[in-house]
Amino acid sequence: MTQSETVSLKEFLLSVVDERHRGYEQRFEAQEKAVQAALAAAGKATDAALAAADRLASKAEEFADEKLASHNQIKPWVQSGLDSLKDRTSGIESALNSRIDAVERRIARFEDREKGVGLSAKVVMWAAVFLATILGIIGWFLLHH
């Protein structure tokens, strides 16, 4: 091999490495965007579920206030219903917070890696869809029960 062939081979290998690095970087950025979108969707769904729970609790309290004036015997029933509702909402909130924490830990792991090798953007998007579906079901359940 001559000196010019060695330099050309070196330049070729460096260009291949640079090209792969750009590909890894693009995949990582796409994954990061997908995770951010999933977090935003989960945040919106959490806010909607909590708002629905607050409206339901407010309506239950109004109902209780109206009926307690004439029917003192329903007070224990209403109170237990409100307690149950608060327990359900706190359980939902803690479950959502733990899921959000898990997603944030995954983001941190992705940011710690030099190369964007890991979950594909498609998996993250399906996880966001799944989480939004679960949150929608929970919100519907809270509104209708």
**Domain boundaries, given as residue ranges, for the chain:** 3-144
Q: How far is CA 30 from the centre of its chain?
A: 17
| pLDDT of amino acid 69 | 67
Q: Is the whole model's pTM more than 0.75, yes or no? A: no
Residue ranges of the chain whose pLDDT lies below 70: 1-7, 68-75, 77-78, 111-122, 145
| pLDDT of amino acid 118 | 52
Buried b (16+ CB within 10 A) or exposed e, 70-101: eeeeeeeebeeeeeebeebbeebeeebeebbe
| pLDDT of amino acid 94 | 79
| pLDDT of amino acid 75 | 65
